[in-house]
Structure 1
Amino acid sequence: MSPKTFKGVPTQKFGGFHDTESRILFKQELIPLKFEILRERFFSINKWKEYSGEAFAAFKLYDFNGHPVDREPQKGDFIRIDIPGPGEPEAKGYDWVEITDICFYQDSFSESISMTCRPSRNPENKKSRHVAHFYSSASSSTFMISRNPAHLKAAVYGRNERPNFNANFFNVIRNLATAAGGMAGAAKIQWKQLTDSFLDLD
């Protein structure tokens, strides 16, 4: 199966990938209102765990300077991820991604918002350029919400997923194990939990 292609989603060139999508149907007159609620959930990164349940990873938004913030995300912000299980020791047990792109598309028929993140350094540690994530910096995750006259969609598209080998021996072992689990489908299960929760709008 080939990866789907969308505006705002990086091209798949190597490694693993996944397309994780959830949809929900609404009456056409309700779509604009429901999409506004979905948009608020989508941009409330600090609440993603609250929406998805205790078993889900915890996400915390940080600004470019490494300070925690509670606002809508911006390009250049960072997200700290607390994944259940062993974390990145150098980053105090957390994995980090940088928001590299936020795209808005709209026409008379549909609307979509996407946010692309890539594994990054820990912005709290100004002295280190080490990528604090189990995937390499070439990997990406694009979070997307969209609407058309019939339904709303929430999705996560993983592209070019490879383990991060730029680490010490024990971190490489951890990265290999976590990345292998992610590419084998464990990550898709977690992302499906998130996309389903985005659309729990009643």
Structure 2
Amino acid sequence: MIPKILKGVPAQKSGGFHDTESRKVFDQALIPEKFEILKKRFFSVNQWESYSGKAFAAFKLHNFNGDPVDREPLIGDFIRIDIPGPGEAEAKGYDWVKITDICFYEDSFSESLSITCEPSVNPQNKKSGHIAHFYSSAASSTFIISRSTDYLQAAVYGRNERPNRNAKFLDVIRNFAIAIGGMMGIAKIQWKQLTDSFLDFD
């Protein structure tokens, strides 16, 4: 399998990757209305868990200083992730990513929005420079929603996924276990749950 090459998605260079996509066809007259709902869901990071269910990870948006916020995300913000199971001990059980890019594309027939995140330090711990995530700093996740003339799509594209070895011994073991599971397809199943839920308007 070869990773898709898409505008706004970092190039795949090494490690694992995934292309997780959900697509739903609608009557053309409903596309604008449904896409507005999708955009609201997409930019409500703190609500992602409520769309996909309690078994999924919980996401909380924080500003550049590490303070929790309830607004649309901005470049430079952080997202605190609470995945089921043991978390990063040094980061008090959480994983952290930083929003490095937010892009918007539009032409006569389509429109898309993307948010790219990379593993980051814990912004609430000013004394630590360690990446507080099970993937290394080279990894990325790009979330994209898009509309065409007759369908909506929600997707997550993971790139350059390698275990984070720059951590304490027990965290390294935990990072390897989660990262290997992710690269074997477990993460794709979980992301599919989120992308499907974004498009569930019933």
Unmatched 5+ stretches in structure 2: none
Shift of 1:147: 0.3
Report runs of 4+ in structure 1 exceeding 3 Å deviation. Answer: none
Shift of 1:129: 1.1
Trace 1:47-86 onto structure 2 (pairs within 5 A). 47-86=47-86
Q: Which residue of the partner structure matches residue 142 of structure 1?
A: 142
Partner-residue secondary structure (3-state), 2:42: helix
Shift of 1:5: 1.2
Trace 1:184-199 onto structure 2 (pairs within 5 A). 184-199=184-199
TM-score, length of structure 2 as denominator length = 0.99
Q: Which residue of the partner structure matches residue 11 of structure 1?
A: 11
**Percent identity among equivalent residues?**
76
Give deviations 1:57-94, integer Å, cap 9, x for gaps: 00000000000000000000000000000100000000
Q: CA RMSD in A?
A: 0.5
Q: Which residue of the partner structure matches residue 35 of structure 1?
A: 35
1:87 aligns with 2:87: yes
Shift of 1:31: 0.5
Shift of 1:2: 0.4
Shift of 1:127: 1.3
Distance (Å, rounded) in 2 between the aligned partners of 1:75 and 1:129: 20
Distance (Å, rounded) in 2 between the aligned partners of 1:170 and 1:127: 20
What is the one-letter code of the residue matched to 1:152? L
Give deviations 1:118-167, integer Å, cap 9, x for gaps: 00000111111110000000000000000000100000000000000111
Distance (Å, rounded) in 1 between the aligned partners of 2:151 and 2:72: 24
Partner-residue secondary structure (3-state), 1:91: coil
Shift of 1:53: 0.5
Distance (Å, rounded) in 2 between the aligned partners of 1:5 and 1:73: 25
Distance (Å, rounded) in 1 between the aligned partners of 2:201 and 2:129: 40
Q: Which residue of the partner structure matches residue 179 of structure 1?
A: 179
What is the one-letter code of the residue matched to 2:97? V
Distance (Å, rounded) in 2 between the aligned partners of 1:93 and 1:31: 40
Distance (Å, rounded) in 1 between the aligned partners of 2:58 and 2:168: 25
Distance (Å, rounded) in 1 between the aligned partners of 2:28 and 2:130: 48
Unmatched 5+ stretches in structure 1: none
Distance (Å, rounded) in 1 between the aligned partners of 2:168 and 2:24: 44
Q: Which residue of the partner structure matches residue 159 of structure 2?
A: 159
Distance (Å, rounded) in 1 between the aligned partners of 2:157 and 2:71: 23
Q: Which residue of the partner structure matches residue 115 of structure 1?
A: 115
Aligned residues between the structures: 202
